[in-house]
Amino acid sequence: METQTPLPVTPRRRPSSPRVLLRALAAAMLVATLFVTFTPASLSRSLSDQLSLLLTPQAEGEFLPGGTSRPKIRIGIVAGHWGNDSGAVCENGTTEVDVNLRIATLVQQKLTALGFETDLLEEFDPRLTGYRAAALVSIHNDSCVYINDQATGFKVARAMSARDQNLAGRLEACLRDRYQRRTGLPWHNSITNDMTLYHAFDEISPDTTAAIIETGFLNLDYRILTENTDQVATGVVDGILCFINNENIAPTAVP
Ligand SMILES: [Zn+2]
């Protein structure tokens, strides 16, 4: 015979609630255990590959999906006068070619460290013939003789021989904007034929976007060029990166 037991006075829990919770917890633990124990061995190779691809920033990966090496972006740097002549010569013996080479070498090292394929080229480097790269920048400096108080600052000229003048214009604008920001040197508006008709522009492939920069005057800008060479080189690198990465350029006032 059944005896009627009185209902408990305490509020009734919802029936089966703890059991459901326990089951869910057990299932979650099982899944977690499976993941910890068997991943990635139990996952198919392609799935784990896809997962690792998703977790790897695409731009930084050295390999393309499928395992082939990601082609590196090539950039050429010409050290002005190197292998040919001294360029401008200062009274203290400093030569333009030495300053150009120091800047160009730093630019190359910085770009290489960023993962680019780089070439440090002489003024009349045989490799310039038909040279193909995403960008070529030639580095020179201006006179060591005092001209006047305005003979300070930098100049940039694009290769007029480039097939794509939009790209060449962008490289020129990027170098001008970023170099000025980094160094604080003024823009010197005196582009000569030496720059616009620069010999290497006619030697390289017309598909290579190129520009020449005179990073300063060896007279009035002597200190920044020789004592803050790293800052000067970084200004050139900033300009090249602006071009390669298609960065925005703030509009510069027309002088
Ligand atoms: Zn020069």
Residue 141, H or E segment: strand 135-142
Residue 178 CA to ligand 1 center (angstroms) comes to 21
Residue 87 CA to ligand 1 center (angstroms) comes to 5
pLDDT tier, 26 (very low <50, low <70, confident <90, very high otherwise)? low
Is pLDDT above 90 for 57?
no
Residue 39 CA to ligand 1 center (angstroms) comes to 61
Mean of pLDDT values over 116-137: 98
Whether 82 is covered by a domain: the verdict is yes
Range in 25-29, 63-67, 136-140 the model is least confident about? 25-29
Q: Containing domain of residue 148, as a range?
A: 74-244
Exposed/middle/buried for 116, CB within 10 Å: 0-12, 13-18, 19+?
A: buried
Which pLDDT belongs to residue 29? 53
Whether 57 is covered by a domain: the verdict is no
Which pLDDT belongs to residue 255? 55
Percentage, residues of the chain above pLDDT 70: 72
Whether 66 is covered by a domain: the verdict is no
Query: In a 3-state reduction of DSSP, which class is residue 238?
Result: helix
Residue 21 CA to ligand 1 center (angstroms) comes to 79
Which pLDDT belongs to residue 64? 67
Mean of pLDDT values over 50-61: 43
Residue 142 CA to ligand 1 center (angstroms) comes to 6
Whether 67 is covered by a domain: the verdict is no
Whether 250 is covered by a domain: the verdict is no
Nearest to 226 by CA among 84, 86, 111, 94: 94
List the shell of residues around ion ligand 1, using CB closer than 5 Å: 80, 87, 140
Q: Specify the number of domains making up the chain.
A: 1
Whether 177 is covered by a domain: the verdict is yes
| CATH classification of the domain holding 190 | 3.40.630.40
Residue 214 CA to ligand 1 center (angstroms) comes to 8
Residue 82 CA to ligand 1 center (angstroms) comes to 10
Kindly report whether the peptide bond that precedes residue 71 is cis, defined as omega within 30 degrees of 0. Answer: no
Please list the residues that pair with 214 across neighbouring strands.
140, 155
Residue 249 CA to ligand 1 center (angstroms) comes to 27
Whether 35 is covered by a domain: the verdict is no
